[in-house]
Chain A
Amino acid sequence: MKSSTFLSIFIGLYLIIFFGYLFGPLILMSMTAFNSSEFPRVSPWECFTLEWFDVLARDDALITGLTNSLIIAGGVVVLSVLIGLAGALILTQVWPRLRPWYYTIVISPILVPGVVLGISTLIFWDRLGTMFDARYDSVFYDGIFLTIIGQSTFISAYCMLVFISRLQRFDPALEEAALDLGATHTQTFRKILLPFLYPAIGSAAVLAFLASFENYNTTVFTVIDQSTLTTVLASKVRYGINPSISSLAVIIVAITLVGAIAHEALRRREQLKIERGEITDSSSAAANKMQGWLSGNPAMILLMLVFVAGLGTVWFGSQYSPNQCKVDVRLQKELLQQRQGPDIFSPQGGEQTQPQAPAIPDGSGSGASDTNPGRGTFGDVFDPGNLEEGEGAAPSGEGSSGGGSGDDGAAVQSPGASTFGDVFNPGNLEESAGTGSQE
């Protein structure tokens, strides 16, 4: 009796750690999207805000990247699904003894590192372009085109796997039956095999879309002078981030959730249909349909809860204005700093009032005024209460990339809270790791 309680406690603990490990970063990062703090973080919690979604919507580089990512993903979906389908169909047709060889060859791009695929795509099309004396604005050097081609080399293999597993469940007698009833081979394909493959085409398309959308290591080579969401994000992380990236992550997570729920609902319905077919008693099955697709799947219920919570947050955000809270927080900080030392407040205040344009103000502020170095000063750094504050502001300083001579001066003066010091701050590392995992 006692050991079983121990065991259940242990298992419970294990599950908490396990799911914490899986979802902790995601949840934490999602929360940072709603904190008005300049840097993605949860604690200290300042104000609930949706402003980072605004910032995101106004970030041109990100939006361009996102648009390109969507265009590329669309292209990859079309190309990969077609190639994957053709590959899978050929597998069922080739001479049985050839099959393992064929399979290995077609599947091999999955085993090749994405980097290698990216570089080789780039080189191949460059050579081809040179052969045809193509200009640099031709398709041979078009980042979007090359990325579609490059990603499809391995994503089509994923798609093929999806199709193969579906085809394995296809009863070839159905094709023969159709032929026997006078259908041509084309009609048999269109009316029998293709409808059977529709679910697999859907799955393959979603898979291809996601794989393309999140791809970095192939894309970073093939995209050349253009950008995708992942390459933009990568460069942002390098040059300093703000919570608008978290808000993007929240949007992506939300879309994924909706997709997962929709997919699960569809799958359940189909499964129910099959079960109903085996029971052949259709009336009772219809009655417990709703119950059927929720029961026995706690993950599904959890997903629904998260989804509802998300909707609630959005609704709350649209009703509530963070301005009053922000003013309060600012006052509080000013009070704190007044108690700690005299010459601090001006940059802090400026920073708080302009969160929408995080890249410019602070760096130039500290760079421009040697006489009023603000948080960059010596005295400040050694004030432990201030360390946190500097951390939050630091990315904006970094954002000014290169900065004025004054900036350099500040860096020399204050290794703690300045540009470089920040990077080594363990608290900071954690945060960017959180966002990093999302890419």
Chain B
Amino acid sequence: MSAGVGVELDDVWVRFGDFVAVREANVNIKGGEFFSFLGPSGCGKTTILRAISGFLEPSEGTVSIGGANMAGIGPNKRPTALIFQNLALFPLMTVWENISFSMEVKGAGKKERRHRADELLELIALADQGEKMVHELSGGQRQRVAIARALCAQPDVLLLDEPLSALDLKLRQHMRTELRAIQQQVGITFIYITHDQGEALTMSDNVAVMRDGVIEQVADGQAIYDDPATPFVASFVGENNVLSGKVTALSKNVATVDTNLGKLRARVATAVQGGLNTGDRAMLFVRPEAVGIVETGSRGGNKISATVVTEEFEGSNYHVFMETAAGEPLKMSLVNKGQSRASATGTKLTVTFDADRAVALPVGALASE
């Protein structure tokens, strides 16, 4: 088990009538990995998870778990356990009965079940709460019971469908850490679904970003953030300033894009290297934290002049919202180092960014706000 059981989606399509919910999904999830599907609501994440757990058969393509083709194998025969979006704990059973349900249906005796349930209750830090009914627990506790119930079935792959979305922010952040810790403790493959990019980035070894049934990029968190494969990924994950224009020159994977703010240089995203040519329309993405105020006397580089609209102070950072000469918004985040924040509304600034920290991509759809 420590080696872990991998999951492979090979050219999977899921259709509901004429509607295509999942289009040509190819994913290779390694054993023991914490893998996330990230995407806005309705993009087909749950559908993929249901195809893996066996509640629906893909219209095309194959799902393999541990190398074995799962076609025709029902959910109760697959080595997966699913944690439902609404948890789906059994309301008429006590906590420990919930947890040991998977043993009950296999005919395990009460003593054995109780013993195992107590072990798992220990794991989720709910020892001696086993006799309670589910509705007597708080949201976070229910969450953990659902995890324990799934783990009790000793699955090779644990599937989690937005399990934290019902919790408040504080608890959510706490549960992130806890989930990750549990995963490392039990060492099985976790497939996690979320529309929250923060969750995906903090917990996962690898993330698949989805849009409208299409998997746009599969990579680790840093690559997703720093080297997005599509404008959608760039705009959906984290914040990004977008500048569009036409590619006028390419050298060593650095593109010069002629925008309405002048010529700006940016690195061509890894995924599109060789695919972006001179003359193509392109989008240039710069993270707010990659933008900085031009030091007096600095030479060359990307320069933009903008007017401050407002400024927000967030403690560790402050965010300066500006408007460029072309009337487009531009955001800059500065680390609070105790410097004076003399950027009152109307102040004219010249800002800059490294070509290396901006990404050029062919024009495409952005994530809607």
Contacts and interface: CB of A to CB of B under 8 A. Distances in A.
Interface in A178-201: 178-184, 187, 191-192, 195-196
A277 B81 contact: no
Contacts of A177: 82, 84, 88-90
A179 B86 contact: no
Contacts of B84: 173, 176-177
Given A173-B88, A176-B88, A191-B104, A182 B136 contact: no
Given A173-B84, A196-B92, A181 B105 contact: yes
B105 A173 contact: no
Given A171-B88, A196-B92, A182 B133 contact: no
Where chain A touches its partner, the secondary structure class is helix
A174 interface: yes
A180 B81 contact: yes
A273 B88 CA distance: 19
B76 A184 contact: yes
A181 B55 contact: no
Nearest to A181: B102
Contact of A180 (B53, B90, B152): B53
B86 A180 contact: no
A282 B136 CA distance: 7
B186 interface: no
Given A182-B102, A182-B106, A183-B105, A192 B76 contact: no
B229 to A, nearest CB: 33
A184 B107 CA distance: 12
A278 interface: yes
Interface string B68-97: 000000111000111010101111100000
Contact size range, A = 20 to 34
B149 interface: yes
Where chain B touches its partner, the secondary structure class is mixed
Contact of A277 (B53, B82, B135): B135
A305 interface: no
Nearest to A281: B136
30 contacts: A171-B86, A171-B88, A173-B86, A174-B88, A174-B91, A176-B75, A176-B84, A177-B88, A177-B89, A177-B90, A178-B90, A179-B55, A180-B75, A180-B80, A181-B101, A181-B150, A181-B152, A182-B102, A182-B105, A182-B153, A183-B101, A183-B102, A184-B76, A191-B104, A191-B105, A277-B133, A277-B135, A280-B136, A280-B137, A280-B138
B136 A277 contact: yes
Interface in A268-323: 273-274, 276-278, 280, 282
A181 B81 CA distance: 6
Contacts of A183: 76, 101-102, 105
Contacts of B138: 280
A88 B56 CA distance: 24
Given A174-B90, A184-B105, 20 more contacts: A171-B88, A173-B84, A173-B86, A176-B82, A177-B88, A177-B90, A178-B105, A180-B75, A181-B150, A181-B153, A182-B102, A183-B76, A191-B104, A195-B92, A196-B92, A273-B135, A276-B135, A277-B133, A280-B135, A280-B137
A280 B140 CA distance: 13
Contacts of B137: 280
B135 A274 contact: yes
Contacts of B55: 176, 179-180
A76 to B, nearest CB: 28
A62 to B, nearest CB: 43
A174 B90 CA distance: 7
A321 B102 CA distance: 66
Interface of A: 171, 173-174, 176-184, 187, 191-192, 195-196, 273-274, 276-278, 280, 282
Interface string B128-143: 0000010111100000
A174 B104 CA distance: 16
Interface of B: 53, 55, 74-76, 80-82, 84, 86, 88-92, 101-102, 104-106, 133, 135-138, 149-150, 152-153
Contact of B75 (A179, A196, A273): A179
Nearest to A196: B92
Contacts of B76: 179-184
B136 A178 contact: no
Contacts of A181: 76, 81, 101-102, 105, 149-150, 152-153
A177 B55 CA distance: 10
A173 to B, nearest CB: 4
Contacts of B136: 276-277, 280, 282
B105 A187 contact: yes
A278 B88 contact: no
A223 B55 CA distance: 51
A180 B83 CA distance: 9
A195 B138 CA distance: 24
Closest 6 pairs (CB-CB, A-B):
A277-B135, A173-B88, A181-B102, A177-B88, A183-B105, A179-B76
Contacts of B75: 176, 179-180
A218 B205 CA distance: 71
Nearest to B139: A280
Contact of A178 (B101, B150, B152): B101
Contacts of A182: 76, 102, 105-106, 153
Contacts of B89: 177
A191 B101 CA distance: 10
Nearest to A172: B88
A103 B74 CA distance: 30
A87 B5 CA distance: 43
Contacts of A179: 55, 74-76
A180 B105 contact: no
Contacts of A191: 101, 104-105
Given A176-B55, A181-B149, A184-B76, A278 B92 contact: no
Nearest to A177: B88
Nearest to B84: A173
A274 B75 CA distance: 31
B343 to A, nearest CB: 48
Contacts of B102: 181-183
A190 to B, nearest CB: 10
Contacts of B106: 182
B135 A180 contact: no
Contacts of A192: 90
A195 B149 CA distance: 19
A111 B323 CA distance: 71
Contacts of B88: 171, 173-174, 176-177
A274 B102 CA distance: 26
Identify which of B53, B104, B105, B149 gathers the most chain A CB atoms within 10 Å of its CB.
Answer: B105
A195 B93 CA distance: 10
Contacts of A277: 133, 135-136
A177 B38 CA distance: 23
